[in-house]
Amino acid sequence: MKITRNAVYNYIADAVSAEHPNAYVASIYEPIPDSLPAVFVREIGDFRNRENMTFAGVQGVRTSTFEIQVVSGHTNGSMSEAYALLETARQAFFSLHYNETNTVIVEDGQNGNYRLRASYRRVIGDADELPT
């Protein structure tokens, strides 16, 4: 299967859902999710690499960047839950050969939720396929 936006989302979502069946997983970010814990996975960047163009004008590679946001709302242990969810997604991204570019704790002083945001990036060739 080719590495597409939907294929990557489904791969990550399936990995998170298998490990954390009670987690709400979506591709559209919601500032206040319907249920917690929540994991949002979305591609935030996709561009053709100009430096990898052939003389015929063909670009065989692109750079894909995904963002994941994890929200936990437990009274006790929300940090541990958020990092466990993130670790599951992180391992799934690593198995797709994405590199982690940053991880940020997002302050959420209004409702006491614990949020993490991380970004993952890789170069994808036109012939690359998802691992089975």
Quote the mean pLDDT of the chain: 88
Query: Residue 57: which pLDDT band, with cuts at 50, 70 and 90?
Result: low
What is the three-state SS of the chain?
A: CECCHHHHHHHHHHHHHHHCCCCEEECCCCCCCCCCCEEEEEEEEEEECHHHECCCCCECEEEEEEEEEEEECCCCCHHHHHHHHHHHHHHHHHHCCCEEEEEEEECCCCCCCEEEEEEEEEEEECCCECCC
**Is this structure's pTM higher than 0.85?**
yes
d(CA 15, CA 3): 16
Left, alpha or beta for 75 (phi > 0: left; psi -120 to 50: alpha)?
A: alpha
Distances (CA, A) of 87 to 2, 20, 28, 81, 116: 25, 11, 20, 10, 11
Tell me which amino acid residue 71 is.
Answer: V
Q: Which pLDDT belongs to residue 71?
A: 93
32-36, 54-58, 74-78, range with greatest mean pLDDT: 32-36
Tens digits of residue pLDDT in 111-124: 778 899 999 999 98
Q: Which pLDDT belongs to residue 127?
A: 80
Q: Which pLDDT belongs to residue 37?
A: 95
Tens digits of residue pLDDT in 73-109: 877 888 899 999 999 999 999 999 999 999 999 876 6
Q: Which pLDDT belongs to residue 59?
A: 65
